[in-house]
Amino acid sequence: MSARLANTVAFVTGGGRGLGAGIATALAEAGAAVAVAARTMAQVEETVASIGAAGGRALAVRCDVTDRESVAAAYAEAKAAFGVPNLLVNNAGVQGPLGPAGLVDTQAWWDTQSVHVLGALLCISAALPDMIANGGGRILNIASQAGTFVAPFASAYAVAKASLIRLTEHIDVEQQDAGVRAFAIQPGTIMTAMAEETLRSEQARAFAKPLVSLLEATTEEESAEGMARLRLFAVALAAGEHDALAGRYVDIEKDIPGNVTGN
């Protein structure tokens, strides 16, 4: 554990596994107090137990990001435990249905928007007033390259991520004078539980063959390097080292200045 982020209070959604757990752990190792939020308490409790065993400060909170009351309660719990969060990480996400737009299950399609876009907005709405009152903060939205081009048969996920990227731009330009900076981050190809689920999905093999091929070609070493890069960037972001990139879509494999990987 270090004291690099000793003054940081972070609220991380989707923190029970995958990218969220990795980011939450990295922030705690750098000295931040971290509220780890997700719908499945067993997962966030496991992440928090791991952080605590290593000497970090973390709190497990149940949070359904699509439910305004659930978000408000989770944020209030984090605030009561650690003080006002000055770093929000919107990581909660789902793959969504795969298939031709207009022919896939419309409710499942809309539910994908609810998790990625409404979920991020509700968390931002909970955190933003305190950030403004306290002179600033940082918002890290986990985006995807799928939000930057047409992804045939994956419209639910692609539209959600495109919307999240544009929401990031709006938040940053509107609130930068208040000291709040927002980032939309493309983390790279990392073999998370959601990626593993995609590989097992018949829908993915039928409608997302390029994605399946990419995941199948990703080695354990490449995935581990990607996670290490994301963890290091999240800490550097929280420390204010990349504010020049605020308000935009950032591919951390290509756009991060300097030697963020430490290699």
Which residues are catalytically annotated?
Answer: 157
In whole angstroms, give the CA distance from residue 124 to residue 180.
11
DSSP string of 66-120, one letter each residue: T-HHHHHHHHHHHHHHHSS-SEEEE--------S-TTTS-HHHHHHHHIIIIIHH
In whole angstroms, give the CA distance from residue 213 to residue 64.
32
For residue 142, what are the CA distances in angstroms to 3, 77, 127, 146, 249? 25, 23, 17, 12, 10
In whole angstroms, give the CA distance from residue 197 to residue 142.
19
Sign of CA dihedral 80, 243, 19, 212: positive
DSSP string of 247-259, one letter each residue: TSEEETTTS--S-
> Which strand ranges, in their side-by-side order, compose the sheet holding 137-142?
57-62, 33-38, 9-13, 87-90, 137-142, 180-186, 249-251
